[in-house]
Structure 1
């Protein structure tokens, strides 16, 4: 077993991705004296970091067994990469629509005046500064999310906790130091999609395992603070999906979220997203809601509707982005009409909603 800090039972990934000394390796040649949680079938053959011998690695964004501070990272995630100890309780808010437009947080009342939509989402970077790594004053000066956005109290507000890697990494670092979870809970969002941590194909397997656990841990932190929260699922291998399915069966969350904002190219969609989505559709409970972000192409939306039916919720920034240029989304594609922003926004939101089943989700 790989130990550190002189404390037995604490584990860390093996340096230089040496599977024979890794406590999570599940291969046939695994050493039973080392393995304590066989959750990984071995190294990532596409990894660009395996064998790295750079000793000055505390500034490296990659977590692997060769890092000189890997001990601190393992302590931070609870000394394990398993999911069994993570529980995310709660329920979805009542009357959640199947399409939720994501806005930038400015002029939302004006947008809603032409629409009266039941829910809006805002992204993490509209609330948590990518420059100062603190909550923006607008959100820190008191009031609920609905009040700050100048929406009716009956309108649902959703925090879409996704962002670029530097932003979500900064959020992880500051989450306890600055009481971020508690301060966001005070905003009384009706739903939070927990931040997710990336899994890239050229990263070491240890980074994948650590990031999958971090995504679930953050969701659990929000849920423990009393915020209705949905965890994001990222995966790299079939074994990852199987682990999620076992975890969901044992400790069902209120829903699962899948961030597809970075899946733009068809080869990535077809090689990673689609196989995983098909597998999930077959292997998670049939009534478990699925919240997807980042889709706008009608053919891809239709695929998700086919897979998940009326339990699907879609969140998209496209109506707001198109509206800024007076453009609308239609079945024929983008149309530049030079329309008023609120009118263009309303047209695109209604179009996106028309692609989805109409029942609302959530409690009674």
Structure 2
């Protein structure tokens, strides 16, 4: 009878001396290092001192893990989480199969709520429209909205022949976590594939500075796995890159070089503070611009300030695609995006939307509509 080996998992208490993923100097047991992915625990972690990590006895200590928002080696169910991601934190077993972005994808892709795309598009005849995951998958019921079930997305959105539908698979943590949990039992990926999306920007799983390093590694693995599941369902899919350290960027670049995905995506919708832009986003974008293959398309979601868009154009040039929901949000209030910022003109929604999309596209030279 074969002997089942214990499932590898991050060490309890973020103890690098006992962690199979530690890549730092002088590990306690060099033979235990399976894949050197991590340079050490996160000094900014707010969870490494929890009751479970410190092994303090007492009733209900283990139950705390069920309500904790992060996955660390001290969890009572860390083995189940490792099994759920394939028993590894590496990327080497995932290959999205290469491929290319759909023909005719414009450099600027307006993101809408999916309710009135045809009405907004009457003056533009734009090449592609994006719809966020929360408009397709309900955060309240953790199920697909009935209007999308068993229907072609182009019909649901009222698109014209040749216009592309892009699923922007980002959302708040409760939404993307629910999607992960329900995706297999409810066949969510296969059912979304049947809707006929032309491109999927795969859901991304968060990396916060005050989370343990094990959660960072799991989140990156989950983001790549979910992209692979969309590819296996027959969809052109772009993985989302998140990072916290330089070693994360290096891992992404090595994976891209080995597998040649059709593009990479970066979700910056949650970057609200200038400090995050300066200390995390900007250094990462500069590094990626220098180390990704020079012809690889880069799709960024969440940039709205002209200065930041200009910087992204300087870094990535004509391979940059931008996704933004600002033109649609402004149009609902009759406002227009301009070089001077938001202008409240009380314009008709269709006129405001047309002006904002045209302006944002003008920031991306050599538009390929």
C-alpha contact (below 8 Å) 2:176/2:204 kept by paired residues: yes
Q: Which residue of 2 aligns with 1:85?
A: 93
Q: Which residue of 2 aligns with 1:310?
A: 318
Unmatched runs of 5 consecutive residues or more in structure 2: 53-60
Deviations 1:254-313 (A, max 9, x none): 000000001121110010000000000000100000000000100000000000000000
Q: Helix, strand or coil for the counterpart of 2:322?
A: strand
Q: Aligned-pair distance for 1:153?
A: 2.6
1:340 and 2:340 correspond:
no
Q: Structure 1 stretches (4+) deviating beyond 3 angstroms?
A: none
How far apart, in 2, do the equivalents of 1:357 and 1:80 lie? Answer: 42
How far apart, in 1, do the equivalents of 2:257 and 2:123 lie? Answer: 42
Deviations 1:58-85 (A, max 9, x none): 2212100111011110000000000000
How far apart, in 2, do the equivalents of 1:51 and 1:246 lie? Answer: 34
Q: Which residue of 2 aligns with 1:25?
A: 22
Q: Aligned-pair distance for 1:358?
A: 2.3
Q: Which residue of 1 aligns with 2:62?
A: 55
Q: CA RMSD in A?
A: 1.1
Q: Which residue of 2 aligns with 1:38?
A: 36
Q: Aligned-pair distance for 1:324?
A: 0.5
- The TM-score with structure 1 as length reference comes to 0.96
C-alpha contact (below 8 Å) 1:147/1:153 kept by paired residues: no
1:193 and 2:201 correspond:
yes
Unmatched runs of 5 consecutive residues or more in structure 1: 1-5
Q: Which residue of 2 aligns with 1:71?
A: 79
1:173 equivalent among 172, 181, 200: 181
> Is the deviation greater in 53-62 or in 301-310?
53-62
C-alpha contact (below 8 Å) 2:238/2:265 kept by paired residues: yes
Q: Helix, strand or coil for the counterpart of 2:32?
A: coil
Deviations 1:290-344 (A, max 9, x none): 0000001000000000000000000000000000000000111111100000110
The size of the alignment, in residue pairs, is 355
Q: Aligned-pair distance for 1:199?
A: 0.2
C-alpha contact (below 8 Å) 1:124/1:162 kept by paired residues: yes
Q: Aligned-pair distance for 1:143?
A: 2.3
C-alpha contact (below 8 Å) 2:361/2:367 kept by paired residues: no
